[in-house]
């Protein structure tokens, strides 16, 4: 275990920041600045494109990509973030798997609250299927709020009568807008990123008055996961959202879904973004890449974008 690396990263993310509620503009600028410090691996190429009716970034290996696609949903509490802020994560998945990744620029709250992000994710998945991509060659992946979208977009796809993707990979997924997990309290102060007040601030922007007690907002406690594809849920012990993943794993298991709950000790929310600076991040991404490689099955036809 890389104790010194974890200590240094914890100190970095705890650097003093202005207190009190921040405007949406300030939140987005701060998140961009923080994620710009993450290491993006060499050996990838990127191109701006569209998927469904939204912009997206196509991330591919520098060489010839393998047949198969990762549909990626970035994190940011449904309020901040973009495909660019998730580039350390998508780039590392591409390098490790050889698959191409479409990172979607879904609509954000408060301008576009629930269910806009889910609608955009479903539109992106539908566009891949319409292009000729086999569902067995598509996996959903995402971090934080985007990890939540891997599940809720899957729910929306099932409700729409679409086939399930091959697999789901979720990094530190936000899966309970009711915020009732025990870790919300037991990890308060230990989590270097979040406070309950901060999550309520951004959560209210996404909810826009909706009751969080519904499957599309709190799938870890309310969703029926029958028929879901295999899931890999990764989280760290130093995060308030830890129990979102542990409860989702229990719910998946009870629904007869293949699920791997992968918990790393002493690391923060979306620790995988620190690949290249934290050994545990690289190891977790290696495990995620192995999981994706085991479940994505190549498609006989595929059209580029």
Residue 112 is a catalytic residue: no
Residue 182 is a catalytic residue: no
Residue 63 — left, alpha, or beta (φ > 0 → left; ψ -120 to 50 → alpha)? beta
CA distances from 13 to 6, 249, 267 (A): 11, 28, 12
Residue 131 is a catalytic residue: no
Local structure of 283: helix, strand or coil: helix
The strand pair at 44-51 and 54-61 is best described as antiparallel
The catalytic position among 88, 134, 136, 144 is 144
Determine the Cα–Cα distance for residues 88 and 298; give it in Å rounded to an integer.
25
Determine the Cα–Cα distance for residues 36 and 194; give it in Å rounded to an integer.
19
Q: Which residues contact 39 (CB under 8 A, 6 or more apart)?
A: 88, 274, 275, 276, 277
Helix axes 116-130, 145-159, angle to 10 degrees: 60
User: Taken in order 82, 271, 228, 115, is the CA torsion positive or negative?
Assistant: negative
User: Taken in order 188, 224, 99, 97, is the CA torsion positive or negative?
Assistant: positive
The catalytic position among 134, 269, 295, 299 is 269
Other CB atoms within a 10 A radius of the CB of residue 112 amount to: 16
Local structure of 305: helix, strand or coil: coil
The catalytic position among 133, 239, 245, 280 is 239
Determine the Cα–Cα distance for residues 279 and 18; give it in Å rounded to an integer.
30
DSSP 136-194: GGEEEEEETHHHHHHHHHHHHHHHTTPPP-SEEEEES----TT---THHHHTTTT-SS-
Task: Please identify every residue annotated as catalytic.
Answer: 144, 239, 269
């Amino acid at each position: 275990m890389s104790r010194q690396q974890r200590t240094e990263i914890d100190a970095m993310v705890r650097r003093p920041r202005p207190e009190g509620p921040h405007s949406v503009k300030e939140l987005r600028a701060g998140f961009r600045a923080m994620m710009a410090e993450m290491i993006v691996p060499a050996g990838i190429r990127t191109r701006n494109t569209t998927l469904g009716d939204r912009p997206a970034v196509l991330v591919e290996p520098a060489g010839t990509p393998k047949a198969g696609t990762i549909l990626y949903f970035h994190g940011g509490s449904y309020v901040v973030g973009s495909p660019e802020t998730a580039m350390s994560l998508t780039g590392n998945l591409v390098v490790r798997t050889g698959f191409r990744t479409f990172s979607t620029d879904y609509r954000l709250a408060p301008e576009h609250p629930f269910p806009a992000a889910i609608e955009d994710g479903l539109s992106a998945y539908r566009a891949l299927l319409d292009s000729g991509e086999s569902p067995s060659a598509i996996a959903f992946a995402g971090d934080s709020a985007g990890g939540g979208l891997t599940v809720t977009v899957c729910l929306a796809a099932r409700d729409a009568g679409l086939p399930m993707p091959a697999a789901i990979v979720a990094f530190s997924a936000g899966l309970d807008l009711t915020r009732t997990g025990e870790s919300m309290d037991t990890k308060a102060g230990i989590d270097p990123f979040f406070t309950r007040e901060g999550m309520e601030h951004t959560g209210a922007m996404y909810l826009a008055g909706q009751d969080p007690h519904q499957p599309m907002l709190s799938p870890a406690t309310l969703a029926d996961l029958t028929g879901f594809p295999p899931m890999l849920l990764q989280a760290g012990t130093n995060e308030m959202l830890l129990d979102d993943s542990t409860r989702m794993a229990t719910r998946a298991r009870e629904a007869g879904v293949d699920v791997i709950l992968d918990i790393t000790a002493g690391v923060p929310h979306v620790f995988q973004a620190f690949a290249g600076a934290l050994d545990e991040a690289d190891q977790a991404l290696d495990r995620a890449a192995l999981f994706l490689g085991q479940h994505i099955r190549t498609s006989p036809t595929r059209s580029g974008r």
